[in-house]
Amino acid sequence: MAPGLASAQQAAAPTAEQRQRARELYGEGQAHFEAGRFAEAQAAFEGAYREVPNPVVLLGVASAQEGLGQPLDAARTLRRYLRERPDAPDRATIEQRIAAMDPNGVTASQEPAAPAATGTIRVVCTPAGAAIALDGTDTGRTAPADLEVPAGEHTITLTLAGYQPITETVNVAAGGMNELALTLVEASAEGEGLQGEGDAFGEGGVEEATAEGEAEGAAEPPPPADTGPSAGVWVTTAIAGVGLVTGTIFGFLALSEQSDFDAMPTADAADRGETFALIADLSFGVAIAAGVTAIVLYAVDRPQPESETPPETARRDEGPRFTLAPWASPTSGGAAARIEF
C-alpha cells in the first residue's frame, strides 16, 4: 500500500469541492488504466481516495497494482476494501481474487489487529455514592461515573449502606453511550412493606382470605327469578286471539249466507250458513276457554323456590292444573275446561 494512501483520513464529511476533485481523479485513473498506464492509474485512484475515502476506489487501486505486477500489494488493498466495507456484496469474488494473488496467505498475517470495540456506560444514581460492580466484579468506583466497557451486554449492580441493592442489564453498542439512571430504595422502607404483607398473607393469612372469599360468596344474593308470564300464558293468550279472529270472520260469513238465504232460499245456502255458524261458535268457544285459561295461569303460575322437598310433596305444591278440551257436534260446538287443585 502506498504511504499516501495508508495515511488518508477524513476528520469531517468531504466538501463539495473534494467530491468534485475525487470524481475528476477517478475518471483520470480509469482512463490511464484502460490505456495500460497502470502507475498513473494507481496514483490517480489514490488521489481520489484521499479526497473522498470511498472503499470502492480501492478496487481501482488494487487493479492498477495487479497490472504493475504487484500481487501482494493488490491483495493487501483488497483486504483493506473488505475491512472498510464489511457488507460488500462482492465479498466472495474479492476473496477469490485475494486467494489467487496470495495463495500462501502472506498478507493475511500482515493485517493490522482490529481495535477492540468499546462503548461507555454512564452510571447515575439517587442518592449518589453507590458502589458500582460490573458483571459481578467491583470496579472500585462510585456513582456517578463513566465506565468504558467492551461492546455487548453487561450487568451493573449498585450497593449502598441502608439501601436495597439494585441490578440492571445494559446492552452497549460499539462507540455508543448508554446512560443508566437508577433510584435506590431504603431497606427499612421495604421491610415495613414486607411486614404489612405478612400480616395479610403470612401465617393464617391465606386461610383468612379464603374464609372471607367464602363468606362473600355465601352472602351473594341469587339472581332474581323470572317474574314474567310463563309460556303457557302466552300460548293460551295466542289461542284465544286466533279463536276470536276466526269466530268473527265465520260469524260475518254466516250472516252473509243468512242474507242470501232470505233473498233466495236454497239447500246449499242453508248448509253453508249452518257450517259457518258452527265454526264461528266453536272459535268463540275456544277463544273464551283459552282466555279463561290464560287468566287462571297468570294468576296461579308463579316460580317456586328451590328446596329439597320430596317429589310427592312438590307435586302437591305445584298449584292448580288447567285442562282444555274442545268439542263439536253436527249442530253445535264448544270447549270444556277443568281445573285441578
Q: Which domains, and CATH codes, for the chain?
A: 3-104 (1.25.40.10), 118-187 (2.60.40.1120), 231-340 (no CATH)
Q: Buried (b) or exposed (e) across 158-183, using 16+ Cβ within 10 A? A: bbbeebeebeeebebeeeeebebebe
Give the orientation angle of helix 231-263 with respect to helix 267-300, to 10 degrees: 160
Distances (CA, A) of 176 to 116, 243, 266: 13, 91, 115
Average pLDDT, the chain: 79
Q: Helices (H) and strands (E) in the chain — how many of each? A: 12, 9
How does strand 321-328 pair with strand 333-340?
A: antiparallel
Question: What's the rounded Cα separation, in Å, for the pair 223 and 201?
Answer: 32
Give how far Cα 46 sits from Cα of 77, 88, 233, Å: 11, 20, 104
Instruction: Compute the average pLDDT of residues 50-62.
Output: 95
The pLDDT of residue 231: 77
59 vs 70: CA distance, rounded Å: 14
322, 283 Cβ separation under 8 angstroms: no
Q: How confident is the model at residue 11 (pLDDT cuts 50, 70, 90)?
A: very low
pLDDT in tens, 199-212: 444 444 445 444 45
What pLDDT, on the 0 to 100 scale, is given for residue 106?
A: 86
CA dist 254 and 275 (Å) reads 8
Residue 111 clears pLDDT 90, i.e. is over it: no
Of 136 and 311, the one with more pLDDT: 136
Using only the alpha carbons of the chain, give its radius of gyration. 52
- The residue that leads in pLDDT, 324 or 56, is 56
Percentage of residues in the chain with pLDDT exceeding 70? 71
Helix or strand or coil: residue 333?
strand
Q: pLDDT, tens digit, for every residue of 140-169?
A: 899 989 998 998 899 999 999 999 999 999
Res. 269: pLDDT tops 80: no
**Who contacts 154 (Cβ-Cβ below 8 Å, separation ≥6)?**
121, 134, 135, 169, 170, 171, 172
Name which of 24-38, 179-193, 238-252 the model is least confident about: 179-193
For the stretch 274-290, pLDDT in tens is: 887 888 788 888 888 87
Asked if 24 contacts 18 with a C-beta cutoff of 8 angstroms, the reply is no
* pLDDT at residue 201 in the model: 41
Give the span between the Cα atoms of 2 and 222, in whole angstroms: 94
Residue 289 grid cell: 276457554
Residue entry with cell 488494487: 62
Q: Are 296 and 320 in contact (CB under 8 A)?
A: yes
CA dihedral 265, 267, 271, 274 (to 10 degrees): 40
Distance CA(310)–CA(197), nearest Å, equals 50
At which residue does the C-alpha cell 383468612 appear?
A: 208
